[in-house]
Amino acid sequence: MASQGLSVDGERQHGQDVRTANVTACVAISNIVKSSLGPVGLDKMLVDQVGDVTVTNDGATILKLLEVEHPAAKLLVELAEQQDEEVGDGTTSVVILAAELLRRANELVRSRIHPTTVIAGYRLAMREACKYIKSTLATPIDKLGREALVNAAKTSLSSKILGSAESDLFANMAVDAVMATKSSRKEDGETYPLSSIHMLKAQGKSASESQIMQGYVLNAPRASQSMPTSVSPAKIALLGFDLRRAKMKMGVTVTLNNPEEINKIQEKEVDLTAQRIQTVLNAGANVILTSKGIDDSALKYFSGSNAIACRRVTPKDMRRIAKATGATLQLNMADLNGDESFDPSMLGHAEEVYEDKIRDDTVIMIKGPKLQPINTVLLRGPNEMMCDEMQRSLIDATSVVKRILDSNMVVAGGGAIEAAVSTHLENFATMLGSREQLAIAEFAEALLVIPKTLAVNAAKDATDLGKFSPAVDAVV
């Protein structure tokens, strides 16, 4: 009897109507980014609630700024984000292809083909497509040399804001930046860590005056003009705590009966900070970077020891410098005995650290880090919006170059691979006698959405594209 009083609010939907609604939402997301695909794709202008304007044709950026609420459409947004994290480029292509596969799968289900059969056919087509690409269409990069890397970077940049006059400059810059990060380890082999490429945006001048600078450019000036402008060799200490006067924590109250004791407390606060700084300097550090502040009264200790100190360095910069120089970020100085100490093994090493000037800003340059080569790409542009899009474009290009170097394989672009694989899968489907061949044939047709979209965006006629697929297959 108790169960009769229970009620569950809400409405349960199932069946073909729900599938169609989910596919429609995914296709709507695909249509938003479809016009931005290819070298003649259009940019999107997005304005958020605050009024900030973003102009881009990067699929992941567009979808990230959309406020998508539909659960099925959110899966495509997450797909683009995952593609951006894993590969770095191709975010628009995967969204368009996924939406087309869903649309065609929905049509098969409407034709009384069971969803399990469709899924099995899609998986079989995927494995066959990957096998065909690796065995027939992929070309080892060793045979093609540097020119293939530059062309791949150009392909990535062709659909971006840098794909016009500056494509040669930035394609070579992307290749040089990735090649400069090459590191060899016994356990990993040759690797190209993109985290070793630091990008610094500086407004002013034209995009053609962007350049690669050897070393790490830290966008933070010296804490005092009395400090030396150059230190060589550099021993770098990375601190994650304050070098300001030690103060009582919130809620702690000290009651004094004698006013003269106030001066002693203030002197002790200054002495504690001075002892900390002296402990770091005694360990041999001559470059001190902290993510917190430094008291003005404490700057004299650094100047007297011919050391460079920078305050309020961003955590991201601290992590990159630590990885390159071998330094360890110290969050406190407490040891097991309850005292404060600083171990010299926590220091990072570099050939030289000196102050330089970019535009009107003073920066610190770290050259010749001990563990890992690192470089900085200096991006110049007329405004912040242009610099942001340049950074996104160059990140995509460097990611493409890294993937090619890691896999040592490259394939043709411009929709040629999709057309060739489509023709191969159509022939492959005819060899099967099961119902999966219907799903494989639809998978093959879905692949043609990439070359068709490229043709439509270029104001060409894409209606007869299917007729030329065998010719494309023969050429490739």
- Written as one string, the DSSP assignment of 410-445 is E---TTHHHHHHHHHHHHHHHT--STHHHHHHHHHH
State the pLDDT at residue 473. Answer: 40
Which residue in the list 56, 91, 290, 398 is annotated as catalytic? 91
Which residue in the list 92, 155, 423, 453 is annotated as catalytic? 92
Phi and psi based region of residue 253 (left: phi greater than 0; alpha: psi -120 to 50; beta: remaining): beta
* Look-up of token digits 């304050």: 242
pLDDT, one tens digit for every residue, the chain (476 residues): 444 555 566 677 777 888 888 999 999 999 999 998 888 888 888 888 888 888 888 888 888 888 888 888 999 999 888 888 888 888 899 999 999 999 999 999 999 899 999 999 999 999 999 999 999 999 888 878 888 889 888 888 887 777 666 788 888 999 988 888 887 665 555 688 887 788 888 888 888 888 888 888 888 888 888 888 899 899 999 998 888 876 666 667 777 777 777 777 777 777 788 888 888 898 889 999 998 888 888 888 888 888 999 989 988 889 889 988 889 888 888 777 777 888 888 899 999 999 888 877 888 999 988 888 888 888 888 888 888 888 888 888 899 999 888 888 888 888 889 999 999 999 999 888 888 899 999 999 999 999 999 888 888 877 766 544 443 343 33
Question: Would you mind telling me the total number of residues written for the chain in this entry?
Answer: 476
Per the annotation, the verdict on 91 as an active-site residue is yes
Q: How far apart are CA 96 and CA 446, in angstroms?
A: 10
Per the annotation, the verdict on 48 as an active-site residue is no
C-alpha of 434 from chain center:
43
Which residue in the list 84, 295, 388, 396 is annotated as catalytic? 396
Residue 83: partners with Cβ closer than 8 Å, 6 or more residues away? 60, 90, 91, 94
Which residue in the list 58, 84, 295, 317 is annotated as catalytic? 58
State the pLDDT at residue 344. Answer: 87
State the pLDDT at residue 475. Answer: 35
Strand-strand pairing, 183-185 and 189-191: antiparallel
Q: How far apart are CA 178 and CA 404, in angstroms?
A: 11
Q: How far apart are CA 133 and CA 430, in angstroms?
A: 19
- Written as one string, the DSSP assignment of 287-311 is EEEESS-B-GGGHHHHHHTT-EEE-
Per the annotation, the verdict on 58 as an active-site residue is yes
pTM across the whole model: 0.77
- The candidate with the shortest Cα–Cα distance to 329, out of 350, 310, 346, 308, is 346
